[in-house]
Amino acid sequence: MAMNEQEIKAAFDMIDTDGNGTLDKQEFTNFCKQIGESISDFEIDLMMKLADKNNDGVISYSEFKKMIVEDHSAPTEDDLKKIFEAFDLDGNGKIDKNEMMQIANYFGEPITEQQVDEILAEHDTDKSGGLEFNEFKNMMLK
């Protein structure tokens, strides 16, 4: 069931415990714990990055509302870039085999080295040993 404007605002105000009109990482983390979600720091950081459209480090009411009501079926290029940057743990511009395995473990979905090799065989078109952004984007939109 979709939330109306009043319900969205009430939810935002409940999470915004310091009342400053924005949600920071700690408020978001506390909320997830309150509703019984077991969520890693990595997942919190990723959700914050995806919701924080103006990259100021916090989620405003308008960003929160957009996160609640927008269609999540097709990520934007900006969303994919933020996900890519979060997954590129060493910041070298590509997601390598070790990073893929670490990310899968973060999400509680461990994968084997063979599975990673299969992903790379299919999507690492320049055979660099990792996925650069365009390869990652093509894989995600496939």
Q: What is the pLDDT of residues 30-42, one digit of tens each?
A: 888 888 777 777 7
pLDDT at 92: 97
Alpha helices in 52-132 (DSSP H): 61-69, 77-87, 97-106, 113-123
Buried b (16+ CB within 10 A) or exposed e, 69-90: eeeeeeeeeebbebbbebbbee
pLDDT at 28: 87
Long-range own/partner contacts, residues 132-141 (CB < 8 A, 24 or more apart) = 132/93, 132/94, 133/80, 133/81, 133/84, 133/93, 136/80, 136/84, 136/87, 136/95, 137/77, 137/80, 137/84, 140/75, 140/80, 140/83, 141/80
Same fold for the domain at 5-69 and the one at 77-141? yes
Q: What is the pLDDT of residues 52-94, one digit of tens each?
A: 889 899 999 999 998 888 756 667 888 889 889 989 999 999 9
27/31 Cα distance (integer angstroms)? 6
pLDDT at 71: 59
E strands, the chain, are 22-23, 59-60, 95-96, 130-131
pLDDT at 142: 76
pLDDT at 107: 73
CATH code of 77-141, in short, is 1.10.238.10
Fold entry, domain 5-69:
Recoverin; domain 1 (1.10.238)
What are the sequence ranges of the domains in the chain?
5-69, 77-141
63/98 Cα distance (integer angstroms)? 33
Q: What is the pLDDT of residues 88-119, one digit of tens each?
A: 999 999 999 999 998 888 777 778 889 999 99
